[in-house]
């Protein structure tokens, strides 16, 4: 299961990822867009966008001092899209 990542276009040796993914019996991707990796998946589940969930930010407002920033959701999520970590944990537990 992959969540919010696109190894086929983001990591080194993407051809190796494509070969490996094609050998899987099941590939599930949780994603907000139909990426190259999602297109190879057996199932693509909807994810919340960064605007719909609590998230950390890497854009430091206090530069050059660095602090941990939590960003609250700014819009309400449509439908029933669970947070990725919670969904993945529930799925793994069965």
Given pLDDT bands bounded at 50, 70 and 90, which one contains residue 25? very high
The answer to whether 20 touches 38, Cβ cutoff 8 Å, is no
Q: Does the model's pTM come out above 0.75?
A: no
Residue 70, phi-psi category: left (phi > 0), alpha (psi -120 to 50), beta (remainder): beta
For 57-92, how does the pLDDT look when each residue is reduced to its tens digit (9 = 90+)? 766 667 777 777 788 899 988 777 666 666 677 777
Question: In angstroms, how far is the first alpha carbon of the chain from the final one?
Answer: 14
Across residues 44-54, what is the average pLDDT?
85
For 33-47, how does the pLDDT look when each residue is reduced to its tens digit (9 = 90+)? 999 999 999 999 888
The residues facing 31 across adjacent strands are 46
Given pLDDT bands bounded at 50, 70 and 90, which one contains residue 4? confident
Check residue 70 and give its pLDDT. 82
The answer to whether 10 touches 16, Cβ cutoff 8 Å, is no
């Amino acid at each position: 299961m992959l969540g919010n990542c696109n190894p086929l276009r983001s990591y080194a040796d993407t051809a190796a990822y494509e070969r490996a993914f094609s050998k899987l019996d099941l590939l599930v991707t949780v994603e907000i867009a139909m990426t190259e990796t999602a297109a190879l998946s057996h199932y693509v589940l909807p994810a919340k966008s960064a605007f719909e969930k609590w998230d950390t930010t890497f854009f430091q407002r206090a530069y050059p001092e660095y602090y941990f920033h939590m960003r609250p959701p700014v819009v309400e999520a449509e439908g029933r899209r669970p947070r990725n970590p919670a969904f993945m944990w529930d799925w793994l537990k069965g």
